[in-house]
Structure formats: C-alpha cells, structure tokens
C-alpha cells in the first residue's frame, strides 16, 4: 500500500531516518548497517562513526559476552525470546557515559526465511529508570520504618 506518490523505497528510508526511536540494524556478524538520526542523538555516534562498527560500541563490556550469545542464538533460531516485549538494559554512549535504554528486537528474514540480522528499536529511559529506582529505595525506607514501628 502506498500512501503518496513517493516510491516505497524512498518512503522506507524516510520512515527509518525520521523515526522517533533509535533504529539500529546489525547484520549476522553484529556489524551495524543502519543507524538513524535518533540513534545518533541518543548514543552520540554519528552514522559515519557507527555504520561498519560492531554493536559492542554501545554495549557495556560486562554485557558483551552475554549479548553475543543471545544475538547468535536469536539469529540461529530466526526469532528472539523477547518478541513483543521491551527489555530495559544499559548502553554506552560515545563519551563513555552509561545510559539505560529500553530495547525491542526483531530478527529480519530474507525472502527465503534466512536471518539477515537483527533490528533494534531503542529508547532512552535513564530519567525514568533513575526516578523509579529512587521511588523503590524510598518505599523500602518507609517499609522499614513501618516494620520498626510495629515491632
């Protein structure tokens, strides 16, 4: 279905580039092939810096091995166990700061059903994560005070 006179291939490029969330596509080797402007803003790497690099540029060192195992498994199975879900995790920005991101994934299959790579939608949730952590901590403090009062 076409919604305008714009060819569908041009429309697809515009949709990716103007998406409000970071869109990152990595091929079977984990090499970044698509990196939209929202990814540039979120992670601080320009497209020319990110495209052609491994996904490890945004994955904290402590998580890289687990990520690689999951990535390899998802491509082999042609699906992800997180389908239809969002996964909160840590990521690394170009300046070395860590942020919290919410990720959703899709394994992209070619016309023959072979896995071409993985697409991730990412959203920065650092502010929300920190606020919720503060609220959880405060709730624990209040519960502790109540438990002491009851004793």
Kindly state whether residue 145 falls inside one of the protein's structural domains. no
The answer to whether residue 130 sits within a structural domain is no
Summarised one tens digit per residue, pLDDT across range 107-129 is 999 999 999 999 999 999 999 88
Give tens-digit pLDDT for 37-59. 999 999 999 999 999 999 999 99
Identify whether 19 is part of a domain: yes
Alpha-carbon distance of 121 to 101, in angstroms, equals 10
Which CATH number do you get for residue 18?
A: 3.30.450.20
Would you say residue 119 lies in a domain? yes
Each residue of 77-103: pLDDT tens digit? 999 888 888 999 999 999 999 999 999
Considering the domain boundaries, does residue 2 fall inside one?
Answer: no
72 within some domain? yes
- The set of residues, in sequence order, having a beta carbon less than 8 Å from that of 99 and lying 6+ positions away, is 42, 90, 91, 92, 93, 124, 126
Query: Is 149 among the domain residues?
Result: no
Is the CB of residue 103 less than 8 Å from the CB of residue 122?
yes
What is this structure's pTM?
A: 0.83
Domain containing 81: what range?
A: 8-125
What residue ranges in 40-114 does DSSP mark as E strands? Answer: 87-92, 98-109
Report the number of distinct structural domains present in the chain. 1
Phi-psi region of 142 (alpha: psi -120 to 50; beta: other; left: phi over 0): alpha
Two structure tokens written together for 118: 């993985």
pLDDT higher than threshold 90 for residue 142: no
Confirm whether 151 is domain-assigned: no
d(CA 82, CA 67): 13
């Amino acid at each position: 279905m076409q919604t305008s006179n714009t060819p569908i291939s041009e429309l697809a490029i515009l949709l990716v580039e103007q998406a409000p969330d970071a869109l990152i596509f990595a091929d079977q080797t984990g090499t970044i092939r698509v990196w939209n402007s929202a990814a540039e803003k979120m992670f601080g790497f320009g497209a020319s810096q990110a495209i052609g690099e491994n996904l490890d540029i945004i994955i904290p060192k402590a998580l890289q091995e687990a990520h690689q195992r999951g990535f390899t498994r998802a491509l082999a199975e042609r699906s992800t166990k997180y389908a239809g879900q969002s996964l909160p995790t840590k990521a690394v920005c170009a300046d070395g700061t860590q942020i919290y991101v919410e990720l959703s994934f899709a394994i992209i299959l070619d016309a023959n059903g072979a896995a071409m790579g993985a697409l991730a939608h990412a959203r920065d949730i650092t502010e929300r994560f920190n606020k919720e952590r503060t609220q959880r901590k405060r709730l624990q403090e209040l519960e502790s005070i109540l438990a002491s009062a009851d004793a």
